[in-house]
Amino acid sequence: MLVFKWSLSEDYTHAYFVVPIIIYMIWEKRDVLNRYNSSVLGLILVLLSIGAYIISLQIRVPAVMILTTIGFAISCLIYIGGINILKDLFIPILLLISIIPIPLQILTILTWKLQLWVSDISTNIIHLLSIPLYQEGNVLHLAERSFQVEDACSGIRSLISMTTLSLIMGYYTLIRKRSMAMLFIFSIPVAIVVNLIRVSSLVIVFHYFKIDLVHGNSHTIAGLLLFALGFIFLFAFQRMLERWEK
């Protein structure tokens, strides 16, 4: 079910790469995990999670079915090694949760609100350059043409990808949990800023150079360059945290 949902959503194309990383993270911890003892609490949680999954099969809500499956996996871990095993596998579990698709109803509301917010901020940025622009909801009107801030431009995709990247980067390059948390938090404004630059630049480049970056290869290349810019911001902050730790 997860693979099927990933195949339908461009927001989760990175999930195919994250799964092998999760497996490798757990494999690296194999020596530590062997020291843990089984837990009766875990057995109780396993039975409860199986019951919850059976109920989810009856109500046929995919999001609930996926969450109960993840709950079953975590319960099995607690049964194998006790509650303390979650400390060693916290990041892999968090990564697993991060690639669970957001329920469609919630995603629709978030995307629409982000679309309007990105449209408002982008309009203000463009007005600072004295470019005549009229905003109508999520549509930005120039004299020559109009630009629509669509679902892909809302920033959800950048936010999901950048936060996932920050978890992996922090896990392998930082020591303290506090530093990892700071890198994760920092990735949120980075994703938002990069997306604002993306939307604003489409309008600005067309206004001054009459180059359309909305469609075709130029749009893809521009998106990759801006994602690379976000990665540079994230990497620079990671280096600062690494030095601070030392």
pLDDT greater than 80 at residue 219? no
* Torsion angle defined by CA atoms of residues 145, 150, 156 and 162, in that order, rounded to the nearest 10 degrees: -40
pLDDT tens-digit map of 67-119:
888 899 899 988 988 888 888 899 999 999 888 888 777 888 888 888 889 99
pTM here? 0.85
Q: Please report which confidence band the pLDDT of residue 214 belongs to, taking 50, 70 and 90 as the band edges.
A: confident
135: left (phi over 0), alpha (psi -120 to 50) or beta: beta
Instruction: Give the pLDDT of residue 239.
Output: 95
Average pLDDT, the chain: 88
Distance, in Å, from the CA atom of 84 to the CA atom of 197, rounded to the nearest integer, reads 43
Chain centroid to CA 91: how far? 14
Task: Name the token pair of 234.
Answer: 């994230």
From CA 163, how far away is CA 125, in angstroms rounded? 25
- The predicted pLDDT at position 238 comes to 95
Confidence of residue 49 (pLDDT cuts 50, 70, 90): very high
Report how far residue 115's alpha carbon sits from residue 149's, in angstroms, rounded to the nearest whole number.
6
